[in-house]
Every structure is written in C-alpha cells, then in structure tokens.
Amino acid sequence: MSEARILVVDDEKNIRLTVAQCLEPQGYTVQTAIDGLDGLSQLAEYNPHLMLLDLQMPGMNGIEVLARAKELKPDLNVIMVSAHGNVENAVEAMKLGAVDFIQKPFTPKEIRELVSRVLGRENVSDLSKDYDSLISTAKNKASKRKFEEAIILVKQAIGVNPNNAEAFNMLGELLEVTGDNLQAMKNYRVATDLDPAYRPAQKKLERATDSPKSRLKM
C-alpha cells in the first residue's frame, strides 16, 4: 500500500518535515497540518488512509482530534505520536480507535516500519493463524473498536506463542479498555514474568500500585 495517503498532524515543524522526508521516498503521498483544527479541516478533502497525530498540541489536543476524526471517518488508521509515555492517554486513545503509538524521538527507520505495518494490517486475512498475522489483525480490529474480536485474536496468538510478553500486554490493554481491570492486571503480570525488562507492562503495573485505590488497600 505504498501509494497510501498520509496526513501528519503536529505543531512541530521539524517533525512534520522529518516524517514527510522519511515516507515520501517510499511512495507515500504525505500532507501535513500544523494543529488539530487544521488536520480536521483537511480530512474530508484529502481523505487519508493514515493519520499520524501528535498527542500534545496547543488548542485541541490529540485525544480530542482523534475522537472527532473517528466520528468523521470511523475506518481511519491513526497512529498517536507522543513525547510523553502516558499510560492513561494510551488506553484512552485505544478506546477511541487509535491503532498504534510511537514515542518521540523516533528514527526514520522506526517510523517507516510502523507505517508499513499499520497499512499492511488492512490486507491481513482474518484466516491467518501465525502469531504475527494474528497480532496484526487484532490491532486492526482494535483500531475499529471491535475489542471483543481483538481479544479473541490475541488469545489465539498466545496459543500459537505463549512465551511472548507483547501478546499478554496487549491482552491486558484490551481487557482494561473493556473494563475488566482485574484480568488486565493479571495479564500485565504474566508479561513481566515472561520478560522482566518489558517496560510497557511494568509501567501499567506501577500505575496500578500507585493509584489511590491501591494505597487504600495497603
């Protein structure tokens, strides 16, 4: 899907230029917006396949733009870009239909590979049963807020490869989005047991431990 149209929404000029310079040589058509309102105004006319959306912007923040963009174009793929690895924002973005996250600073290779993976998910068959295809399809389902279908696919991926921390972390995120916080924490713990250095799951467990409710129980 190298001919895909991509919209980059970021108030930092150097980020907009860097992303465009990374992706245009790959055959993508890239258009940029300086803030959330500018991005939303370009959605209908440009009709992008993918939006790279900064989380922290003046005026309308990324979460607000994401919510409005998914109302206008429910099937739009949105990658959130953040300099702040905030777990609450990540969960909220998933609830609203963000398909993935990337944290600044990122390398040209990282952004190219992520965009390629996200756009490639559109062409992944639900019948694919290998681990990577199941995870990719699950992320695609989650981006469309089909969380129960995504949960089933992640569980299938765990059946294929039960030793991957990523799958248990993703299952935890999906369960948290659907309100099953207890099972979510259990899956985050499994992820950290499998890979004690896996920071995404560690951060979520640390957040739970530091919450007011957790302190009251201590």
pLDDT tens digits for 116-166? 888 876 655 444 578 988 998 898 888 888 898 899 899 988 988 889 999
Q: Which residue's structure tokens are 């924002």? A: 89
Residue 97, by phi and psi: left (phi above 0), alpha (psi -120 to 50) or beta? left
Q: How far is CA 126 from CA 19, 115, 119, 159, in A?
A: 30, 20, 15, 16
**Which pLDDT band, with edges at 50, 70 and 90, does 216 fall under?**
very low
> Which sequence spans correspond to the domains of the chain?
5-121, 131-212
Task: Report the alpha-carbon distance of residue 212 to residue 34 in Å, rounded.
Answer: 38
pTM score:
0.65
From 3.40.50.10880, 3.40.50.2300, 3.30.360.10, 1.10.1670.40, which CATH number describes the 5-121 domain? 3.40.50.2300
Residues 6+ apart with CB under 8 A from 164: 131, 157, 158, 194
User: If you average pLDDT over residues 79-89, what whole number do you get?
Assistant: 74
Under CATH, what is the fold of the domain 131-212? 1.25.40
